Amino acid sequence: MRMVDLIQHKRDGGRLTREQLYFIVQGFTRGDIPDYQMSAFAMAVFFRGMDEEEIADLTMAMASSGDVVSLAAIRGTKVDKHSTGGVGDKTSLIVVPLVAAAGVPVAKMSGRGLGHTGGTVDKLESIRGFRIELPNDQFVRNVNENKMALVGQSGNLAPADKKLYALRDVTATVNSIPLIASSIMSKKIASGADAIVLDVKVGSGAFMKSLEEARELASTMVSIGKSLKRRTIAVLSDMNEPLGTEVGNALEVAEAIETLRGGGDARLRDICLTLAAYMAIAGGAYPDFAAARQGLEELLGAGRALETFRKFVEAQGGDPAIVDDPALLPQAAYRLAVRAEHEGFVQAIDAEAVGVAAMLLGAGRAKKEDAIDYAVGVSLRKKVGDRVSFGETIAVLHSNRENNRDITERLLAAYTIGSDQPEPVPVVYDVVE
């Protein structure tokens, strides 16, 4: 088999067999297929697409290119969740303890943030003492005892995807549905999940800008799950403005705790309950959505999810006192109000611009090796639909820099304030099963 013939075949609109796709993925992982041929292949897929069977085969080939985690020692159906990424997306910190409190085991592997989007691992590391790496036997023990554990993704999980993603990033081939779907699903399959709930974000702050594209990505991932016998459900949710009110690592942990206490932002609570409901159904805790939603609301109200979160933090070496007193989390030296320069209604908040502002304060990384400042970020005091008067605080910067004028300007530019109140947009658009 020659790589050049396979590239040509795909370039001309042909389909590739399982054997051919394994040849490509294995050769590329070993380094026998050079980056220039793999880039040409990615571009051929970008233009020609793939059918369902090809996408499932590509997913399996990438999932088996490195470590494949076995969760067989954990009792019950192991349910995982994945978000396609957004700004202020702290849903895992809320959803995982909530589902675990319903008795469904969640053995989760998460990633770090890059660019304007945050990562769950970075958020948890803002808790003093928290260990994101656990030996496998302790990971399993924690899930069996407390129904949840959350660790960083192993370096050798789906290495083919890691290499291919880095190439796609610099060859304008990220935005291809077969490539995104196989990339996400390969990591979920390699991390041992029996069932997967996907949060596909739609809007200005997300990869998928339109509902049509997001729906196509969601259906593609659900079909991969079906072909590979993993129950997969995708929730299409809004990312036209940041999720919740806090953007930044420690700030997001504090907001997650507030939601686990039963308070917090209504849209954040709603998407968390929806994702948790589908996970709990997949894990066999409830028969249907209505029962799951009601059961989970009761657990939240009774403080059971908060208790699970506290035990989880303690079991991974973190300071559990932050659960009762989030002020113990890292705090920035300066808090600066960003004040409205017009009056009216908030019509839009550019999620990506808020993510970039938080990143520039030090909450995220522009490059993989950058260090993070856990304390800094942005609190959004006004969200889409809120009325603001001239000079009112619309956001607060938590900063360790003395001069924040550039960030203030970015935030002012991120807000669109106009005279008409916009129609409310749902936080959950649709569910693909």
Q: Which positions are catalytic? A: 82, 161, 168, 183, 187
Smallest separation (angstroms) from ligand URA to the CB of 378: 23
For the record, the structure tokens of 186 come out as 């390969």
Size of the site for ligand URA (CB under 6 A): 7
Q: Which residues of 108-128 are buried (b: 16+ CB within 10 A; e: fewer)?
A: bbbbbbbebbbbbbbbbbbbe
Smallest separation (angstroms) from ligand URA to the CB of 143: 23
Of 183, 223, 237, 316, the one binding ligand URA (CB under 6 A) is 183
Which of these segments, 178-186, 254-262, 265-273, 290-298, binds ligand URA (CB under 6 A)? 178-186
Task: Assess contact for 98 and 299: CB atoms under 8 A.
Answer: yes
Cα separation, 159 vs 67, whole angstroms: 9
Site string for ligand URA, 67-106 (x = CB under 6 A): -----------------x----------------------
Of 177, 180, 256, 397, the one binding ligand URA (CB under 6 A) is 180
Using the minimum distance from each CB to ligand URA, give the nearer residue, 181 or 254.
Answer: 181
Task: Assess contact for 65 and 179: CB atoms under 8 A.
Answer: no
Smallest separation (angstroms) from ligand URA to the CB of 176: 8
Using the minimum distance from each CB to ligand URA, give the nearer residue, 221 or 332.
Answer: 221
Closest by CA to 184, choosing from 199, 172, 169, 194, is 199
Site string for ligand URA, 203-242 (x = CB under 6 A): ----x-----------------------------------
Strand 393-399 to 195-202 pairing: unpaired
Using the minimum distance from each CB to ligand URA, give the nearer residue, 167 or 328.
Answer: 167
Using the minimum distance from each CB to ligand URA, give the nearer residue, 107 or 158.
Answer: 158
Classify 148 as helix, strand or coil. Answer: strand
Site string for ligand URA, 112-151 (x = CB under 6 A): ----------------------------------------
Query: Position 364: which residue type?
Result: G
- DSSP letters spanning 39-61: HHHHHHHHHH---HHHHHHHHHH
Q: How many C-beta atoms lie closer than 10 Å to residue 291's C-beta? A: 14
Smallest separation (angstroms) from ligand URA to the CB of 175: 9
- Asked whether position 184 contacts ligand URA by CB under 6 A, the answer is yes
Helix residue ranges per DSSP H, 68-171: 91-101, 120-124, 136-146, 159-170
Could you give the angle at which helices 249-260 and 304-315 cross, rounded to 10 degrees? Answer: 140
- Asked whether position 59 contacts ligand URA by CB under 6 A, the answer is no
Q: What are phi and psi of 337, to 5 degrees?
A: -80, 135
Contact residues for ligand URA, defined by CB under 6 A: 84, 165, 179-180, 183-184, 207
